[in-house]
Amino acid sequence: MQDTITQTWQEKVKEFASQSEDLGDLHPEILELAYQEQWFKLFVPKIYGGAGKKLPEILRLEETLAQADGSLGWTITLCAGAAWFAGFLDPTLAEEVFADRKVCFAGSGAVGGSAKKTATGYLINGHWKYASGALNATIFTANCVIKNENGTDVLNENGESEIKSFILKKDEVEILPGWSYFGLIATGSHAFSVENLEVPVNRTFKINNDIKIADEGFNYPFLQLAETTLTANSLGMATHFVQLVEDSFYGRSGLKRYTDDQISFFAEELNHCKNELQDQKISFYNAFDESWHQLINNGIIDNDTLSNVSLMSRKLAHTCRRIADTLYPYCGLEAAKKETEINRVWRDIHTASQHALLTFEK
């Protein structure tokens, strides 16, 4: 009997990645894979039926996902990252939400709405952009300025307008198509809005300072969690691009036109980029691992360590983009052809590089 060859998840992603881009959404085969592997539930505690994984493992997985396909890695990162809020949700609400096998969180970190206090909850109005995974989301998260019944801002203990996060259900929001950017196309990062939506009190939450479950890692600072997970995506995409560049250059039909010195120059340039990427990767993970070690062993991360995590995240993200730009001219016109894999990866890297958290290297 002939042995059956099992297709790896990477092979399946590669098979359907270009079709995902054509759809402007993750292909159904890739989505089913994500549900099977619980990628949207990476952070969700096991008590809610999630994978219950911890950030060190999740970072490495997100890098691998982005290496397979940028849109897949980015969608899982943003949606699973939003589902990290499981640690701060009302337990009854969390049990309801995560009972869905296909639960997927999407949302926006921006404060795009207002929530007026009512007798039984909050009345929400607003508009939020860039909700990656919006087309497949079952839950949307939204940040709002809290208003008194008379319309004035509720002030916090520092005299500033109070901001809270809210859980909204799919049938309560309107998705506003508008993700027309040249990369990460299959993330479907559309906007969404709500108008005069009343929700109960248990639909609001605050991160980090109001942990609802006894599980480690939910007190990791959200800023560094966001920076590291986004950077892991840039790293995965850049690693993919470097391999494609090498294959492209040595597979060019016009390679014979180059002199030995020119080919050697490219080889040196390629190796320099590989080494720089590997060095920055090691520094990045070392910085993160030290922060995680401090959190688990001491219950707190010192400010210098957190600052170093942020710095190494930004440095690696910028290195990824620079390497892509350095190597791009050696790829030939195939790299400029929008239907090719190498062009898709290049576009994804540059779209990811525009995230506000990664704008400045220092």
The three-state (H, E, C) secondary structure of 243-307, written as one string: HHHHHHHHCCCCHHHCCHHHHHHHHHHHHHHHHHHHHHHHHHHHHHHHHHHHHHHHCCCCHHHHH
Record the tokens describing residue 249, joined without a space. Answer: 């250059």
CATH 1.20.140.10 domain extents, the chain: 222-358
In the predicted structure, residue 77 carries a pLDDT above the cut 80: yes
User: What proportion of the chain, given as a percentage, has pLDDT over 70?
Assistant: 99
Q: What's the pTM value of the predicted model, to 2 decimals?
A: 0.95
Tell me which DSSP letter residue 216 carries.
T
Classify residue 129 by its DSSP letter: E
Q: Specify the DSSP element, H or E, that contains 193.
A: strand 190-200
* The pLDDT of residue 5: 62
Q: What is the CATH number of domain 103-205?
A: 2.40.110.10
Percent of the chain residues topping a pLDDT of 90? 89
Range(s) within the chain of domains with CATH label 2.40.110.10: 103-205
Strands, E, within 72-173: which ranges?
A: 105-117, 121-131, 139-147, 163-169
Tell me the CATH number for domain 9-86. 1.10.540.10
Angstrom distance (rounded) from CA 226 to CA 103: 21
pLDDT for the residue numbered 3: 46
Segment 314-334 mean pLDDT? 96
Report domain 222-358's class: mainly alpha
pLDDT in tens, 6-54: 789 999 999 999 999 999 999 999 999 999 999 999 999 999 999 999 9
Summarize pLDDT for 211-250 with one digit per residue, the tens: 888 788 899 999 999 999 999 999 999 999 999 999 999 9
Place of tokens 């009190």: 201
Output the CA–CA distances (angstroms, integers) from residue 287 to 58, 73, 283, in the order listed: 16, 22, 6
In the chain, count H helices and then E strands: 9, 7
The confidence band for 2, taking pLDDT boundaries of 50, 70 and 90, is: very low
Give the distance from CA 283 to its chain's centroid: 21
Kindly report, as residue ranges, where domains of CATH 1.10.540.10 are found in the chain.
9-86
Q: How far is it, in rounded angstroms, from Cα 137 to Cα 148? A: 30
Please determine, for residue 259, whether its predicted confidence score (pLDDT) is greater than 70.
yes
